[in-house]
Each structure stands twice: as C-alpha cells, then as structure tokens.
Structure 1
Amino acid sequence: MSKQYVLVINSGSSSLKFALIDSKTGEAILTGLGECFGLEDSRMSWKYQGNKQEIAIVGDENHHQLAVNKLVEIVSDYGFTDSVIALGHRIVHGGEKFTKTIQVNEKIADEIESVKELAPLHTPANVTGVRAGLKAFPALPQFAVFDTAFHQSMPAKAYTGAIDKTLYTEYGIRRYGFHGTSHYYVSREAAKMINKPVDESSFISVHLGNGASVCAIKNGKSVDTSMGFTPLAGLMMGTRCGDLDPSIIEFLLNKGWTQEQVFDTLHKKSGFLGVSGLTSDARGILEAMEEGHEGATLAFQVFTYRVAKYIASYMVALDQVDGIIFTGGIGENALPIRREILQYLKVFGYKENEQANADARFGEGGIITMPDSPIAMVIPTNEEFVIAQESVALMQ
C-alpha cells in the first residue's frame, strides 16, 4: 500500500506553519513556515530531505491564501499530490461548542469564528487558515483539531471558577486548558514506555516551551490543567505572566495605565523576559545565568519553583502517579531546568539519574530518574501526528 499523508496547517495571525505527516509513522516529510505576513519581508521557507528553500510572499491578496496556494505548488512539485488524503487544522480554542475533532467546511468555519471572543488573538487566524485550505484544496476532506478538546473531560470541580456562576452560564467563563494535543500524545507514549494500558495509567504531563502548561492525566483523561480561560493563566512562560492576583490589573488601571498597556505587559513583556529583563528564550536565560546575570538567575529560579509547585499540587488530582512527563522545547532539551525541578520534588522521593537526564535531549527521550525513584521521563511531543491521526480516524 502506498504511503498516505496528512497536510497539517497551524495558522497564526501573521504566520502559517505546515507539515506533511506520514499518517502511519508520524514522520514529518516536508515542513515549512510562512512568516511576517503583512510586512515588507513577508516570506515562506520549507525543508525537504534536508534542503531548505525560501521565497518572498508578495501580493495584495491575503498572505495566508498566497502561502497556501504556494503550498499546493510545493506538494505538487515534490510529487505528493496524489498521496495527500486530508488536511488537518490546529484550532486553539473550541470552547464548549467543539469538544472533539470535526470535519470542516465554510459553515463550520463560521461556527468556529463565532467563539472567537474566547481567543481573539488566535481564532481569527486559525479560521483564516481553514478558509485558505478549503479554497486551495477543495477536493480533500479537512478537519479541525482543537487544543481545548482533550481537557473537556475535566470534572466541574477542576474547571469551575470561584466566581459568580452567571459568569459561566452567560459568558462561558471557566477553565478550558490548552496544549491538549501535546498532553494527549505524550501520555500515550508514556504508557507504552512503562508497558501499561493508557486507560489504567496516570501521569503529570509538563509541557514547557514559550507557552507552558501542566496537566493531570488520570486513566488517560485530563482531569486538571494549569492554563485557564485563556493561555495566560498557570505557569510563568516566555513572555506571559501566568497566575496573577487580578487586583494588580485594577491597581495599574488606577495608576493611569490603559487596558491595552496592562494586557500587552502581561502577554508580551512578562515571564522570562519580564523577570530577567533580558530575553524570553530559555536558552538565553541559561547562558546568561552561567555568566552570573542576576535577572536570568532569578527568572530560572521563579520558573522552576513554580513548575515544581504545580506538579506537586496535581498529585492531589490523581490516585497514583505513574510518571512525570517532560515535553515541549524546554522540557525536552533544558537539562538544568529539569534537574532543578526534580530537586524540588525530592520530598516525594524523586532522584535524578544524571546520565539518563543528559542523554534525554535533542530528540531523544527516556526515563531520567534512578531505579529506586518514582518515574520522571522525557518524551518529545508530536502534535502534528495527533492532528494527522485524528483526521484519518474521522475519515474512517
């Protein structure tokens, strides 16, 4: 049987990531990125068999559409047109309206857009990508996979805010959670690693990247997660503040700050960047810390401490903990960050295996604790494979 591929599209406000995924193995055959849409240096790059190419995206038309049109050409030029069986679109927020993967058409695109106020920065861009895909690949079935869907299994005690209940009934204000495709994927891989059925396994999944979240997974289902109504809540991140006393917002408004200034700061000037005063990139934080930079050192300490506190608190949600899973760009690669987090968790018996921890980087996974320790592991995530699998499953 010839190989079958799913073209996965992740559309941002000024960018469009894509990957051609082998639907059986999860291998990314072709990857690319369109970026700086709307600016003079708008461009698109892609990599195939180790070779990278780049072009400018020029034109008055919607740049997302231009990028997807070019993607049609690229897929054809490399001879994959007849092997692509579907498109899968990553959608950040489905609210309570979309609780599972769904096949999309123009009507569904309108319905997804109808909940855009839940994620005003992400949903319009996601829908733009869907519409561009529908126009460019009209003969292919296309599917929307929602970041929030995996967390729809959370019990009311986990997703309910301690606020006036009408804010939930009228406006849908509750904990939704994100990074669902990542937490779903690594929990399934973790169950394989410990040779246990996923529906009998419980993990604390720790997705650490520029965006970061923790998820308590009981018998394969999400029962709590750190991100909330939006991705701003929970852990400290690259530029996001994470959990914050809401009275700080009122305090700054009373000081004369505009609403735009406040939320620009909380979303774009906080986290690693805000605490360090230096950079939002964890690699830069670690390098500067080694050189004695006080702000970088403090950012490292705040981040690792908060992650460890969340992990510890999520043990309450589980009857057992079969493993802590580190994933995401930081979780998969930042050895000092994993080491510090495990050190905070020594009260629970966690002991780092230094060699295993050093080996589990740059695409390699594995258990990183000692044989007489509770298990912590590293599993590289593959969200695109989940989107491809979900798309194929719905086709069948």
Structure 2
Amino acid sequence: MSTVLVVNSGSSSFKYQLIDMDTEQMLATGLVERIGESAGHAVHTIPEDDVPSADRTDAPQTSERDLPIPDHTAGFRVMLDAFEANGPSLTRHPLRAIGHRVVHGGKRFFEPTPITNLVKINIEELAELAPLHNPANLQGIEAAQKAFPDVPHVAVFDTAFHQTLAPAAYSYAIDAALAEKHRVRKYGFHGTSHKFVSEEAAAFLGRPLADLNQIVLHLGNGASATAVSGGRSVETSMGLTPLEGLVMGTRSGDIDPAVLIHLHRRTGMSFDDIDTLLNRKSGLLGMAGANDMRDVLSRSAAGDEKATVAFDVYVHRLKGYVGNYLAQLGRVDVITFTAGVGENSAPVRAAALSGLEAFGIRLDPERNEEKSREARRISTDDSDVAVLVIPTNEELEIARQTMSVV
C-alpha cells in the first residue's frame, strides 16, 4: 500500500488526511486546533466503510481530545497518538510521502517540489506575498519533518496551476520596473482545486482534457473563477493575493483602488485597518451581516433587503466573470461549480447562469435542485455547454501531485 499524509497547516491549527494511493480512498482525517492557547482541541476520524477491521480498535470512529498543544510540534505528537490509539496503523500503512499545501509559490514554483532547506528559505521569503499563510505553512512543514524525518516531504503550491497564464493575463498596468522589483503581478489561487475539478470534468464527460475549454467556479467562503483551455489555466480571478475577484464570505473581491485612498483620507484608517476591512469584514459579511450563503438566502427570503442586495451583488460579479471568460476562451464546452456554495446552492447556480441561453447555456431546473454528493450534470440534454457540479478534493490532488515526484 502506498499511503500519503496530506497536511494543511495554519497559524494555530492544521488539518490532515491519510490517503491510500492504490485506491485513492481516504483512510483517516483530522484537525488539530487552538495551538498555543490554554486548551487545544484535536479530532481524529476514520471513515466507517473505508478502513479494514484489522486497523480498528474498540475506540469510536471519531475521537476528540482537549489538552494543551503549545506548538505545531506538539500538535503532530497529538496526531500520532490518535493514529496509534484509533488507527489506521501507520506501521501497517507506512507513509510513502507527506504532501504539504503551501499557499504562495510566487513565480519560482510551478510544480510539486520536494522540500529542501533551500525550498524552505524560498517559502519564507515569499511570505511577504502571503503573510497570513506561508509562515503557517512553513511551521507545519518543520513540525512534520521532526515527526517524520525519514519520509519525503513535498510542497504543493496553490499558485502553481496558474503559472501558465500569459503576460497579458497576469500583468497589472502599473510601472513595469516597479512591478518587477516588487513582484507585483497576478498569481491566482485555489490552483489544486481548479486542476482537480477540470480534470474530473473531462473524465465525467469522457472527453480528452486537451480538447476542452472550461470555466471552473470554486465557490466557498473564498471564491475564485478560472478559465481552463486544454488543461491549462489561461485566466483566473484572484490576483497578487486571494482578495481580488469574486465577492466572498468576508472578502470584498474587486474594488476601485481609489476607495482605499478615499477611506484613508476621510477616516484616517491605517493600512492595517483597511486590510482587515477588505479581508475580514467585507463580502457577504459586510453587506448582509452573514458570511454563510445559507444565512444570506434565509434572510433574503424573510425580506431582509440588505441580504437581497448582497446576493444580487454576489451573482452579478459571478456572472460578469463567466461572461469575461466566455469572451477570452471564444468557445466554452463545460462550466463546473465546486466547493461549498458551488456544490450545494441551487439558487446561486441558477442565478449565475440565468439569461445566458443565447450562449448555449441551458440549465435543467429539476437537475439543478437535486441534492447529491456525487459529480453530476445539471444542464439540459440539448445544452451546447455542459454544466456540471463536481465535488472538489484538494487533499487528493495534493496527494496525487506528491506521488508524482516521489
């Protein structure tokens, strides 16, 4: 059995999955959180149907612990204790490799990369482009290397899939020398999800990836759109940071940069204040007081005008990007919705594609309303453009990319 442990580390938490790469089945998943606080919390879950009985103990399939977890190194010890107590056994399923999600690879990293000391130095240097993410990713890498010193570690970068963008797509219209010196350009994010979903869409349709023009809409609390031609990202909505593009749960998405100057001049808001405003207090939360689309829809149905406007702005921006990518690609074969909102919100899907029938996009209302956790078609049989819902699986994509280099 070839098993890969996938780690997604934040500043005060990390998530993990153990995946059997022979079957691509998830063997265990877990979360270690509240790292550095007085009381940490850890959850370890074994899917009921995926683990042989030999790998189970009498412990419940989901186990939880509350205990002090002073740092990420201690967090990995807690994780190892959970595997030992609850399974599956890492002795019976020795790790082939560990794959780490790293948010920002700049323009240096365009493929999965075995982690060396030089790679860690580069990840740390790129932290200026992702100060909330890269340092935390690096903490997880170093803690994992202490826990598993003899296992290959691989970095998989969110930005890598978008390194195929042309200069016309990734360049900002500012002073070229200034942009080059300070690495100001569009990088794009959610790359592992967009890559996974575009490949799954081709497989679902039974068509070669190289023949398809696609629009992938990753709609979660963070949201992004990508135009994919022949399996290559050619345009994407997020930019230098994950702030650009679509309206999100707490992020503003696209905004006139002069708004920031105006707020600074009129209110005295500092750059940190504006950063907090745009990243944590804007989007659906800022407009409707709720960052969860289900709450926004519920409030709108109850007559909350702010929630209705928030939904309309969200869909207006989303439809604008669909139209943009229709023009950029020239021909679109498939549009795919994914992530929490994309997979589960029929009203968002219907509103985003409403009125686009002239472009060969025809949604089937009954298919769109069906509840399912499986990949499915929600367009009519005679729609020129196939519209799909495909659950994303970034952990599996990270595991696949990790295996490709070990």
For 1:76, the equivalent position in structure 2 comes to 84
Of 39, 45, 49, which aligns to 2:43? 45
Q: Say if 1:289 and 1:297, in contact at 8 Å, map to a contact too.
A: yes
For 1:6, the equivalent position in structure 2 comes to 4
1:1-396 → structure 2 map (5 Å cutoff): 3-50=1-48, 51-59=61-69, 61-62=70-71, 64-77=72-85, 78=87, 79-83=89-93, 84-255=95-266, 256-276=268-288, 278-359=289-370, 361-373=371-383, 374-395=385-406
Q: Work out the CA distance in 2 between the residues paired with 1:23 and 1:345.
A: 40
Q: Work out the CA distance in 2 between the residues paired with 1:166 and 1:231.
A: 23
CA offset at residue 82 of structure 1? Answer: 4.2
Q: Work out the CA distance in 2 between the residues paired with 1:71 and 1:106.
A: 24
1:86-140 per-residue CA deviation (whole Å, 9 max, x = no partner) reads 1000000000111111111344222211111010110000000000111101111
For 2:58, the equivalent position in structure 1 comes to none
Q: Which amino acid aligns with 2:376?
A: G
Q: Say if 1:308 and 1:344, in contact at 8 Å, map to a contact too.
A: no
1:210-251 per-residue CA deviation (whole Å, 9 max, x = no partner) reads 000000000110000000000000001000000010011111
Unaligned runs of 5+ in 1: none
* Secondary structure of 2:249's aligned partner: coil
Count matched residues. Answer: 389
After TM superposition, the structure 1 stretch with the greater mean CA deviation from structure 2, 253-262 or 154-163, is 253-262
CA offset at residue 21 of structure 1? Answer: 1.4
Q: Work out the CA distance in 2 between the residues paired with 1:242 and 1:82.
A: 47
Q: Say if 2:26 and 2:47, in contact at 8 Å, map to a contact too.
A: no
CA offset at residue 358 of structure 1? Answer: 2.0
1:295-331 per-residue CA deviation (whole Å, 9 max, x = no partner) reads 2111111111111110110112214211001001110
Q: Which amino acid aligns with 2:270?
A: T
CA offset at residue 74 of structure 1? Answer: 2.5
After TM superposition, the structure 1 stretch with the greater mean CA deviation from structure 2, 86-95 or 33-42, is 33-42
* Secondary structure of 2:121's aligned partner: helix
Q: Work out the CA distance in 1 between the residues paired with 2:150 and 2:296.
A: 47
Q: Work out the CA distance in 2 between the residues paired with 1:34 and 1:98.
A: 28
CA offset at residue 44 of structure 1? Answer: 1.2
TM-score by length of 1: 0.95
Q: Which amino acid aligns with 2:397?
A: V
After TM superposition, the structure 1 stretch with the greater mean CA deviation from structure 2, 383-392 or 39-48, is 39-48
Q: Say if 1:305 and 1:344, in contact at 8 Å, map to a contact too.
A: no
Segments of 4+ moved more than 3 angstroms: none
Q: Work out the CA distance in 2 between the residues paired with 1:99 and 1:340.
A: 35
1:240-297 per-residue CA deviation (whole Å, 9 max, x = no partner) reads 0000100111111112112221110100000010010x21111211222222221211
Q: Say if 2:98 and 2:151, in contact at 8 Å, map to a contact too.
A: yes
RMSD between superposed Cα atoms in Å: 1.4
1:350-375 per-residue CA deviation (whole Å, 9 max, x = no partner) reads 2221221122x442221111112221
Q: Work out the CA distance in 2 between the residues paired with 1:14 and 1:158.
A: 35
CA offset at residue 73 of structure 1? Answer: 2.5
* Secondary structure of 1:87's aligned partner: strand
Q: Work out the CA distance in 1 between the residues paired with 2:395 and 2:188.
A: 18
TM-score by length of 2: 0.93
